[in-house]
Structure 1
Amino acid sequence: MKILLWSVGKDSDPYIKTGVDDFTRRITRYFPVEWNLIAPPKNAANLSQADLKKKEAESILGQLTKDDFLVALDEKAKQFSSEGLAQFIQTRANSGGKNLVFLIGGVYGLDESVLTRADHRWSLSALTLPHQLVRLVLTEQVYRACTILRNEKYHHP
């Protein structure tokens, strides 16, 4: 199984990018992993929230394959504990699927068409987090889940 981390938006600020790159590199010890930054539409500032989400959705849905297992990060969804995320990843790996896609939406979230396509919805936190910080938290939590699966010292329950 390959873990794909997708995010709508521009590249991270340097202080975020350093952490994201570090945790992404660590995840490669357990699973193939890659980032896909989905550029916002060129005329984003001129679009309504609904139209912007629809344009982003077209790009996202156009890049997904039918076999991708899509996890949409959605503030209204249920949360996982770190151990719960580890079990979720293990279950997906055991299912024999090719790609596990974690998707961070744009500044206004995800269009309903993407949420409908999602195989699972997950809330990272009840807090409102800066968009780029979500990338770092997601990457760290996926890494933590991997260490839990291997009973390594990183995670201290």
Structure 2
Amino acid sequence: MCANHNLSSMKTTLLVVGRTVEPHFITAINDYVQRTKRYLTFEMEVIPELKNTKSFSMEVQKEKEGELICKAFQPGDVIVLLDEGGKEMRSIEFADYMKRKMNTVNKRLVFVIGGPYGFSQKVYQAAHEKMSLSKMTFSHQMVRLIFVEQLYRAMNILSGGPYHHE
């Protein structure tokens, strides 16, 4: 096996609420996760979705998910919410962003995809940054795939790979 050329000791985590259910998304996401691991210590962590949410209001569901999300955070984490109100970047800018993070984050860089109603105030308060993948709205399954593909693309750009065309 080839040596793992980790560019830093930083761990990167994608934290998601609820498992990915559609088989074609699972296959594609797993493929990009494996490819990304060639460059970076990376994992996708799944917070089990809430049971019996029909009786919950949107706010209650958001609060309960928020508590589970916050429990998954560790001391020293740098938390980035994938949020429509966040900063948008081109792929090359995201690659530069990752390079900066690999030089400054000592523990985990945690990207978070919330549940269907977004994030609770507690989660917003815990976050260090917000990032938007697009002005468009995507399903949560799709956002996972887009994010892992962009993370892989960023790492490929940083390693001088053939993945980006200016």
* TM-score above 0.5: yes
The runs of at least 4 consecutive aligned structure 1 residues that moved more than 3 Å come to none
Aligned 1:67-106 pairs, distance under 5 A? 67-106=76-115
| 3-state secondary structure, aligned to 2:84 | coil
3-state SS of 2:155 partner: helix
1:59-106 per-position Cα deviation (integer Å, ceiling 9, x unaligned): 111110121111101101120111111111111110142111110000
- Between the aligned partners of 2:36 and 2:19, the Cα distance in structure 1 is 22
Q: Which residue of structure 1 aligns with residue 45 of structure 2? A: 36
> How many residues are treated as equivalent by the alignment?
157
**How many angstroms apart in 2 are the aligned matches of 1:12 and 1:22?**
15
Q: Which runs of 5+ in 1 are unaligned?
A: none
3-state DSSP class of the match of 1:109? Answer: coil
Please name the residue that 1:131 is paired with: 140
Q: CA deviation at 1:12?
A: 3.0
Return the alpha-carbon distance in structure 2 between the equivalents of residues 42 and 130 of structure 1.
Answer: 20
Q: Which amino acid aligns with 1:61?
A: C
**In the alignment, is residue 151 of structure 1 matched against residue 160 of structure 2?**
yes
Contact kept? 2:62, 2:119, Cα under 8 Å: yes
Give the unaligned 5+ runs of structure 2: 1-9
In 2, Cα distance between the equivalents of 1:96 and 1:49? 34
1:60 has 2:69 as partner: yes
| 1:113 alignment partner, one of 107, 122, 132 | 122
Paired AA for residue 46 in structure 2 = L
Q: What amino acid is the match of 1:73?
A: L
Q: Which residue of 2 aligns with 1:4?
A: 13
Instruction: Pick one of 10, 14, 38 that aligns with 2:23.
Output: 14
Q: Provide the TM-score with structure 2 as the length reference.
A: 0.91
Task: Find the residue that maps to 1:72 and give its secondary structure.
Answer: strand
CA distance in 1, matches of 2:59, 2:107: 32
1:25 is aligned to 34
